[in-house]
């Protein structure tokens, strides 16, 4: 049947007709597994493996939100998390909700597998001020400039059947399909199902990373997949459409495998540089600011690359005046950079922010 973008798509069930062990795939999978193995090793060599989780997840959140034209930056989001929600700008709120959605999914993956329950929980966190839940009406994807319909997802009454098939495919460990290829295939299928009125792309990108964690290829949600998609956005959308219109699975899967490999390598390199900076900062503060030094102080500067006296006081269990004195001394010693945003007194770990930038 010829593809008609204006009619609800008759989406074929998984698995697709694809050579899952194509030579090109095997080579990419081996390279990616090597990089992911090293990335996991480096993340566990940190004094506290969760140390960089918040800034790394915010980096992914910013990139994923940017794909949806939600425009925020790393620094804006890191600042916004310090303010009450009533004082946050909408794009920054959406980035932070994305961060919360990833972390909710990561925490709950320890208790339940990737499933409808997990998907709906992630979506609820993501759309904190919207209308979470599966759509009950028809939706369409159109060109934002011309209004031309590019794709009409399956009808709402098809969602239970399609999502049940998707869930079975994702959790079937006896089909011989490599988890990296499976993550790419499942990502396309989720985007094609388009089960929500809003937040499909962001939910789909979270699920892709959680799949790799469920399959023990990744230990923490620190793989910056959205950065790759954002840089190659036109190609990503072109290849998604090619699967819909021509069932050209091969090129899309290979594109995603290249992305997993590239981002695993980049994340590993970034992590190494951050570990070096952490050790350098620790030594410097221990030597030059011995009276205020503690491992918790240094870790706070990396967990919260932008911090206020209030936040530091809570983390170190010291009063506001003591926290202010610590931060002022570090700013005077040029370890941190001092600034004001409205009534808020901020201290930024600029070398770390530089490493976290896309």
**CATH number (domain holding residue 345):** 1.10.10.10
**pLDDT exceeds 90 at position 52:** no
Is residue 16 one of the residues assigned to a domain?
no
The confidence score (pLDDT) of residue 148 equals: 96
199 and 304, same domain (yes or no): no
Q: pLDDT at residue 296 above 70?
A: yes
Poorest-pLDDT segment among 14-28, 45-59, 262-276? 45-59
Decide if pLDDT at 218 tops 70.
yes
Residue 352, domain member (yes or no) = yes
pLDDT for res 53: 83
What is the CA 273 to chain-centroid distance, rounded? 20
**Residue 43 binned pLDDT confidence (cut-offs 50, 70, 90):** confident
Say yes or no: 233 and 349 in one domain.
no
CATH code for position 156: 1.10.3290.10
- Predicted confidence (pLDDT) at residue 273 exceeds the cutoff of 80: yes
Instruction: State how far the Cα of 346 lies from the Cα of 167, in Å rounded to an integer.
Output: 45
Name residue 196's beta-bridge partners. 134
- 114 domain-assigned: yes
Cα-Cα-Cα-Cα dihedral sign, residues 114, 120, 125, 130: positive
Residue 326: give the domain boundaries. Answer: 289-356
**For residue 14, is it within any domain?**
no
Residues 237 and 317 in one domain: no
pLDDT-derived band at 71, boundaries 50, 70, 90: confident
Specify if 4 maps to a domain: no
Q: Are residues 191 and 70 in the same domain?
A: yes
pLDDT of residue 1: 64
Report the C-alpha gap between 93 and 324 in whole angstroms: 27
Is 5 inside a domain boundary?
no
Q: For residues 195 and 136, give the distance between their C-alpha atoms in angstroms, rounded to a whole number.
A: 9
Tally of domains within the chain:
2
Q: What is the pLDDT of residue 54?
A: 80
Cα dist. 99→51, 96, 206 in Å?
Answer: 15, 5, 10
Question: Which residues are CB-neighbours of 68 under 8 A, at least 6 positions away?
Answer: 201, 202
pLDDT for position 55: 84
pLDDT score of 109: 97
Q: 263 and 299 in one domain?
A: no
**Greatest mean pLDDT range, 34-38, 54-58, 193-197, 353-357:** 193-197
Of 41-55, 134-148, 304-318, the one with minimum mean pLDDT is 41-55
Extract the tokens encoding 348.
Answer: 């930024």
Nearest to 102 by CA among 118, 79, 91: 118
pLDDT at 82: 94
127 lies in the same domain as 248: yes
Tell me, yes or no, whether 331 lies in a domain.
yes
User: Has residue 63 been placed in a domain?
Assistant: yes
Average pLDDT over residues 177-194: 98
Q: Give φ, ψ of 134 to 5 degrees.
A: -65, 145
Mean pLDDT of all residues in the chain? 94
Cis before 99? omega within 30: no
């Amino acid at each position: 049947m010829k593809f008609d973008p204006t009619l609800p798509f008759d989406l074929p069930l998984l698995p697709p007709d694809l050579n899952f062990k194509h030579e090109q795939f095997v080579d990419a999978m081996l390279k990616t597994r090597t990089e992911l193995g090293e990335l996991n090793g480096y993340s566990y060599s940190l004094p506290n493996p969760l140390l960089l989780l918040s800034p790394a997840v915010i980096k992914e959140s910013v990139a994923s939100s940017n794909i949806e034209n939600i425009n925020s930056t790393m620094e804006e989001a890191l600042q916004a998390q310090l303010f009450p929600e009533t004082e946050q700008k909408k794009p920054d709120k959406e980035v932070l909700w994305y961060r919360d959605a990833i972390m909710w999914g990561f925490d709950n993956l320890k208790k339940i597998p990737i499933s409808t329950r997990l998907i709906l929980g992630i979506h609820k966190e993501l759309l904190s001020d919207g209308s979470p839940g599966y759509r009950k009406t028809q939706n369409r994807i159109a060109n934002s400039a011309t209004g031309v319909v590019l794709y009409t997802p399956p009808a709402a009454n098809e969602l239970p059947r399609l999502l049940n098939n998707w869930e079975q495919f994702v959790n079937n460990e006896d089909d011989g399909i490599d988890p990296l290829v499976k993550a790419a295939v499942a990502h396309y299928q989720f985007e094609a199902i388009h089960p929500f009125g809003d937040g499909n792309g962001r939910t789909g990108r979270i699920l892709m990373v959680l799949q790799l964690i469920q399959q023990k290829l990744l230990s923490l949600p620190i793989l910056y997949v959205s950065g790759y998609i954002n840089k190659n956005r036109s190609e990503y959308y072109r290849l998604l459409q090619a699967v819909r219109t021509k069932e050209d699975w091969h090129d899309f899967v290979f594109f995603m495998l290249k992305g997993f490999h590239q981002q695993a390598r980049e994340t590993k390199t970034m992590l190494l540089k951050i570990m070096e900076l952490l050790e350098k900062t620790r030594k410097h503060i221990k030597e030059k600011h011995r009276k205020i030094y503690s491992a918790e102080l240094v870790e706070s500067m990396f967990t919260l690359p932008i911090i206020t006296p209030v936040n530091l006081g809570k983390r170190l269990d010291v009063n506001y005046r003591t926290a202010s004195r610590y931060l002022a001394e570090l700013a005077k010693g040029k370890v941190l950079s001092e600034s004001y945003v409205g009534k808020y007194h901020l201290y930024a770990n600029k070398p770390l922010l530089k490493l976290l930038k896309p």
